[in-house]
Amino acid sequence: MGYLYNTFLHQPLLNVLIFFYNTIAVHDLGIAIIFLTILIRIILFPLFHKGVRHQAVMQRLQPKIKKIQDEHKHDKEKQVTATMDLYREHKVNPFSGIFIMFLQLPILIALYRIFANIFKPGFLDALYPFVAKPETINAVSLGLINLQKSNILIVGLAALAQYFQGTIGLPKRGTEPLSQSEKTAKMMVFIGPLITFVIFYRFPAAVSLYWAASSAFSVIQQIIVNKSLENEQLGRDNQKNN
């Protein structure tokens, strides 16, 4: 397992990072991290897009799910069957969000190991022969941010981006009361960024910068998904009117 992890995740990420550092990032590790983040999100875009879309659709289905729960509150089997039929009708998977979360975990672990050890002697010996080994790695990005140490500003930006994504991910609601699931989702808009701040405050700024850039990418992705769902709803409304 360790061999597979190093061969297919840790070593490729390290080499791409150093390649960016040597070329388009003009020897700025912070810029190289941002380029690496963008590359990772582009490669995984279909999976992330599907996960974000499913979460958005799930949020919009909450009133219908609550109605099913009320109609079959004395028959759990019918309640589960009707809910799963609703998911199939709208082609969503309630477990997609968990899958995306676990998908990010090994990537985050690999990046943490890279950023925590990249300044140590001998760590860059794992570079491929065609990737030039820099004499030194400058830990200071843009002449301001020491990527080896925690940076409260970067952590704050990561938490803010996560909060903004959560806010725009919530569906517009009328005056009807929120279901328990909707209350939980609304609460997580605040709890998620708080957890991010607490966890990443202790991490090197290099790790926090990756998470901040990834969260910013997620905001853009959420806007795209919201626009797509609005267009689909508009199309369905037009069909009904015709």
Range of the domain at 8: 2-241
Q: What is the pLDDT of residue 25?
A: 95
Q: Is 203 within 8 Å of 150 (Cβ atoms)?
A: yes
Average pLDDT over residues 211-228: 88
3-state class (DSSP) for residue 215? helix
The pTM (predicted TM-score) of the whole model is: 0.83
Give the whole-number percent of the chain exceeding pLDDT 90: 33
Q: What is the pLDDT of residue 59?
A: 75
Please provide residue 141's backbone torsions phi and psi, each rounded to the nearest 5 degrees. -100, 135
3-state class (DSSP) for residue 170? coil
Taking 90 as the threshold, does the pLDDT of residue 11 lie above it? yes
The model's pLDDT over 59-87, given as tens digits with 9 standing for 90+, comes to 778 778 888 888 887 888 888 888 888 88
Nearest to 193 by CA among 164, 150, 223: 164
Give the whole-number percent of the chain exceeding pLDDT 70: 88
Taking 90 as the threshold, does the pLDDT of residue 33 lie above it? yes
Q: Which of 122-131, 141-150, 224-233 has the lowest mean pLDDT?
A: 224-233
Mean confidence (pLDDT) of the chain: 85
Taking 80 as the threshold, does the pLDDT of residue 13 lie above it? yes
Average pLDDT over residues 42-50: 84
Taking 70 as the threshold, does the pLDDT of residue 159 lie above it? yes
Indicate the pLDDT class of residue 233, thresholds 50, 70 and 90: low
Report the number of distinct structural domains present in the chain.
Answer: 1
Average pLDDT over residues 157-163: 93
Residue at 202: amino acid letter:
R
Measured CA to CA, the distance from residue 58 to residue 169 in angstroms comes to 11
Q: What is the pLDDT of residue 52?
A: 77
The model's pLDDT over 135-153, given as tens digits with 9 standing for 90+, comes to 889 999 988 999 999 999 9
Measured CA to CA, the distance from residue 109 to residue 217 in angstroms comes to 19
